């Protein structure tokens, strides 16, 4: 039976809602929850943040990290900038970003899951962050005006989208000319077909829906980006890697 895009999105939403509720109710010690991206501690989650960064965060935000990298480490955030985190989850990257851009900057967190948004707002308040704004929505249709953002970050979320071309187009739309992308994601080697990727893991487990390195580069260039770079950082499955994706919107 073929799974539709809406069904896949709803499955992702349910899994991440369960992760947020498990952490909130303290029923899951690792904060991951069934079906999240954080399987192996060495590949996903809180271990990808250094001790200094973890020290800036409420414990619940650290435990809620379901990502495959640390986009704030590569985004080169600057005082006064506006940053958008796609799929902000429990808020770890938004809190770190808000601290980097300072009181004159703004950090937007976009998530489609009510439970994650509630957890992120609680974590941001506990961290004393006042320049974080959380938005409900989907990454294929970002609820922000065109040309309103300096930097877009994301942590292991774009691979979950069923329409990645729309995501990349939306990123380009909301970025200012010369705006930057600093994304952590799961990316496959070019030799793997979509069927090969599906054999290595589930869609909600951040594997089956991953783009190949070549597909990512071509997609970003088609959306209006230049200086596109996709660098593998660590292997998460055979032929599948955590990766840093960087690009600049053409002026």
Q: Where are the domains of the chain?
A: 5-249
Torsion sign over Cα 83, 86, 90, 92: negative
pLDDT at site 208? 67
Residue linked to tokens 């967190």: 109
- Per-residue pLDDT at 248: 98
- Give the SS3 label for residue 242: strand
The answer to whether the CB of 216 falls within 8 A of the CB of 110 is no
pLDDT of 46 reads: 46
pTM to 2 decimals? 0.80
Residue 102 near residue 129 (C-beta atoms within 8 A): no
Per-residue pLDDT, 39: 41
Nearest to 46 by CA among 104, 96, 117, 6: 96
Taking the CA atoms of residue 241, residue 101, residue 82 and residue 97 in that order, the dihedral angle to the nearest 10 degrees is 30
Q: What are phi and psi of 220, to 5 degrees?
A: -65, -40
Q: How many CA atoms lie within 13 A of 7 on its CB side?
A: 4
Q: How far apart are CA 140 and CA 132, in angstroms?
A: 21
How many other β-carbons are positioned within 10 Å of the β-carbon of residue 58? Answer: 19
Which regions in the chain score pLDDT beneath 70?
A: 1-3, 5, 7-69, 201-208
- CA angle, residues 8, 237, 234, in degrees to nearest 5: 110
* pLDDT in the model for residue 28: 42
5-249 belongs to which CATH class?
alpha beta
CA distance 20 to 23: 5
pLDDT at residue number 47: 46
Tally the C-alpha atoms within 13 A of residue 108's C-alpha that lie toward its C-beta: 21
Torsion of CA 192, 202, 200, 4, to 10 degrees: -40
């Amino acid at each position: 039976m073929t799974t539709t895009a809406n069904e896949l999105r709803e499955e992702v939403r349910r899994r991440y809602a369960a992760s947020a509720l498990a952490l909130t109710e303290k029923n899951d010690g690792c904060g991951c929850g069934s079906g999240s991206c954080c399987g192996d501690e060495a590949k996903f989650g809180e271990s990808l943040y250094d001790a200094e960064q973890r020290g800036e965060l409420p414990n619940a935000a650290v435990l809620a990290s379901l990502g495959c990298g640390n986009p704030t480490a590569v985004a080169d955030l600057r005082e006064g900038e506006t940053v958008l985190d796609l799929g902000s989850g429990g808020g770890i990257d938004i809190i770190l970003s808000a601290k980097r851009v300072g009181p004159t900057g703004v950090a937007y967190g976009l998530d489609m899951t009510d439970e994650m948004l509630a957890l992120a707002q609680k974590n941001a308040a506990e961290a004393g962050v006042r320049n974080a704004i959380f938005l409900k929505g989907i990454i294929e249709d970002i609820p922000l005006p065109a040309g309103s953002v300096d930097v877009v970050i994301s942590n292991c979320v774009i691979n979950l989208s069923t329409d990645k071309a729309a995501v990349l187009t939306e990123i380009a739309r909301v970025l200012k000319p010369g705006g930057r992308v600093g994304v952590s994601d799961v990316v496959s080697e070019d030799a793997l077909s979509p069927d090969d990727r599906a054999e290595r893991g589930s869609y909600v487990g951040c594997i089956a829906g991953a783009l190949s390195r070549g597909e990512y580069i071509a997609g970003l260039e088609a959306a209006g980006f230049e200086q596109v770079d996709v660098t593998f950082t660590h292997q998460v499955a055979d032929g599948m890697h955590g990766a840093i994706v960087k690009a600049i919107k053409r002026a």
